[in-house]
Every structure is written in C-alpha cells, then in structure tokens.
Chains A and B, each alone.
Chain A
Amino acid sequence: MWFYEKKLQYPVKVTECNPRLAKYLIEQYGGADGELSAALRYLNQRYTIPDKVIGLLTDIGTEEFAHLEMIATMIYKLTKDATPEQMKEAGLGAHYANHDHALYYQNAAGSPWTATYIAAKGDPIADLYEDIAAEEKARATYQWIINMSDDPCLNDSLKFLREREVIHSQRFREAVEILKFEKDRKQFF
C-alpha cells in the first residue's frame, strides 16, 4: 500500500501568475513522457520483472508521484490568480471553457492522457530500455521547458526534476547490467 506525506519532495516557488508557462508544464503532468506516465509505467511493470529489480521499479515509480505533485503545485500556483482573459491570452481558453482552473491529465496541446503512452512487454530488457528512453525523453522535455521559462524560482524546481531524470536513467542502466550478469551466471554454471 501507499502512504501520503504532507510535504513536497522539493520546494516549489513561483515568482508570479504565468498561465503561459503553466500551459507548457501540463506536458509533464499528462503528456507521453510526463510524471503520470512514468509512475504508472514503472509500477505496472513490477509484477513481471525479475525480483532483483522489483525494488527499483517500486521506488522510482513512487518517487514519480512526488514529482507529479510538484508539477501540479507549479501549474496550480501559476494559474490560480489568472483571470479568464489571461487564460485566453495564454492559449488556455479551451481549457478554461471545459475545466475552469481545475487541473487535467492532458498534454501541452490539450490531448488527454492515454494508456498508449506506456509500454509493458513482459520482457525485462525490453521494458528496462523503454524506461531508460522514457527518462531521457522526460529530461529533454524539462530542458525545453526551462529554455522557454523566465521564472528563476520555477527553474530551480525544474532543474531539480531534470536531475532526477538523469539519476533514474542511470539506475535503470545499472538494472540492465544486473539482469545481464544474472543471465550470464546462470548459463555459466
């Protein structure tokens, strides 16, 4: 089971109301390589992966929910004081018409989240390579958003999240090596 802790993994501060930036950040909320996809991808793969890497998938999958909450906090803080006019100007008019200021699992272009964003092949190496690729794509997305953001407070939190993608990718690469080693050892003896 899971426990909630009443804290963010890393502080999230924003300088000012900025719905335009929020629109881009939605990519990491409900986009293909976003935090929701990441959490669901890893936690779902756990059941059919060798025991040696179940712990890693559980722990990274759980951390992704903490990242999802950070992204939600960013979007909430950037839009909570925006007028309908400001939402419209930021390209969130269609979002406002359907959701007011509510958050929704969709990508930056407004397509709703879909399970087709995640893969589960049942083959450990295929699944782990999928995970490594997902981390690298998420890292790149954070970089593109940082490149467009002029909010130094927000960028501090985004850089934290970008670095976590690097660590996760590294740990998944190590998991691949662990499985390869296990396989070779079994063949040898």
Chain B
Amino acid sequence: MKQGQSHDQERYSLMEKIQMVDFALVDLTLYLDTHPEDTQAVQQFNQLAVESRDLKTVFEQKYGPLRQYGGSFSGYPWNWSDAPWPWQL
C-alpha cells in the first residue's frame, strides 16, 4: 500500500513537470501567433520543445504511451488503450 502511494506520487510529480513545460509551450504558441518576430520567444519555444520530448520519453518508459497515432512507441502487448485515463487519476 505504502509502496503504491509513493509510486503514485512519483507519477504525479513527473506528470506535473510535463504539464508545466507543455503549458509554457501552449502559451508561447499563442504568443508567437501574434508576435512571430520575437527571437527570444522562438528560442525559448524550441528549447522547451526538446525538454518536453525528453520528459515524455522518461514518463512513457515507466507508465506507458502518452501520444496517440505513433507519437509514442508501443510496448507489447499493445498498451496505448490501457487505463488509467486522465480523468481516472
């Protein structure tokens, strides 16, 4: 039970890191849509895009694929459709 809880905790905190980086990417996307010539923002966007990919690779090795239609590799057997789904956590 205790082990399960710390496992959950680790999952949540890793997911939270992904959510933080991806949030910055969403917000920068909208900003750049109306400020396409902001060099610093473009640099930050590309840097965070790498960070996001790296974090997701680490998460997926432990908890399964995050990205649909080939955005992530599958385990065997097929584990994309495994629960939990986001609203079940």
Contacts and interface: CB of A to CB of B under 8 A. Distances in A.
Interface of A: 3-12, 53, 55-56, 59-60, 63, 69, 72-73, 76-77, 167-168, 171, 174-175, 178
A8 B86 contact: yes
14 contacts: A3-B67, A3-B68, A5-B71, A6-B65, A7-B86, A9-B19, A9-B26, A10-B23, A56-B33, A59-B30, A63-B30, A72-B87, A171-B33, A174-B35
Interface residues of B, number: 25
A42 to B, nearest CB: 12
Interface of A is mostly: helix
A111 to B, nearest CB: 24
Contacts of A168: 30
Given A3-B68, A72-B87, A9 B23 contact: yes
Nearest to A171: B30
B10 interface: no
Contacts, number: 66
Interface of B: 12, 15-16, 18-19, 22-23, 26-27, 29-31, 33-35, 64-69, 71, 85-87
Contact of B19 (A4, A11, A60, A63): A11
A10 B30 contact: no
A3 B64 CA distance: 16
Contacts of A7: 15, 18-19, 22, 66, 86
B34 A5 contact: no
Interface of B is mostly: helix
Contacts of A171: 30-31, 33-34
A9 B18 CA distance: 9
B86 A6 contact: yes
A10 B35 CA distance: 25
Nearest to A60: B30
Nearest to A168: B30
A178 to B, nearest CB: 6
B29 A59 contact: yes
Contacts of B65: 6
Given A5-B66, A69-B86, A56 B34 contact: yes
A11 B34 contact: no
A77 B87 contact: yes
Contacts of A11: 12, 15-16, 19
Contacts of A10: 19, 23
B3 to A, nearest CB: 22
Nearest to B59: A7
A62 to B, nearest CB: 9
A9 B31 CA distance: 17
